[in-house]
Amino acid sequence: MTQSNTPSAFPAETPAISVRLDKWLWAVRVYKTRSQAAEACRHGHIAISDQKAKPSRDVRVGEVMVVLKDNITRTYKVLQLLDHRVSAKLARDFVEDQTPAAELKKLRQPSFRPIGIRPKGTGRPTKRERRLLDRWQEPPSPLPEP
């Protein structure tokens, strides 16, 4: 009998002891890239135990996190730790989506809102005007200010 030197794709005998928050959010496909997950943490869009979480924070099994994404507040429960990206089908085994139905209804509602009215003939917004518009449109943080 020969022993294979190829590692299994998902070793069950060596579980991850700790995983960074940004890496876990990327691995379970909450965010498309790890840098987007880290940026969301830095802007205060991720909360664990009603506290804003940094990207380097370790995730623990059983924690419930609140994520502000796509103008809705999603709630996720950590079922298992994961440090590498897996398919969407397998990612369901590592996270439980506890988002209330009322929040999910917001996705189905039409989101057409005029950004602002610019007088005809004024041209494209300047860089400064664009930043002001972006700041005006940014959704509020899911946590109250301390």
Query: What's the pLDDT score for residue 6?
Result: 46
Over the chain (146 residues), what is each successive 10-residue block's mean pLDDT?
A: 49 64 94 94 92 92 92 92 92 92 82 66 87 77 63
Question: Is the CB of residue 47 less than 8 Å from the CB of residue 66?
Answer: yes
Topology of domain 19-137, CATH: 3.10.290
Query: What's the pLDDT score for residue 137?
Result: 72
Per-domain residue ranges of the chain: 19-137
Query: What's the pLDDT score for residue 134?
Result: 81
What is the Cα–Cα distance from 82 to 99, expressed in whole angstroms?
A: 21
95 forms bridges with which residues in the sheet? 78
> Is the whole model's pTM more than 0.85, yes or no?
no
Query: What's the pLDDT score for residue 15?
Result: 56
Query: What's the pLDDT score for residue 14?
Result: 46
Query: What's the pLDDT score for residue 145?
Result: 62
Within 10 angstroms of residue 48's Cβ, the number of other Cβ atoms is: 18
Pairing of strands 51-52, 46-48: antiparallel
Three-state DSSP at 101 gives helix
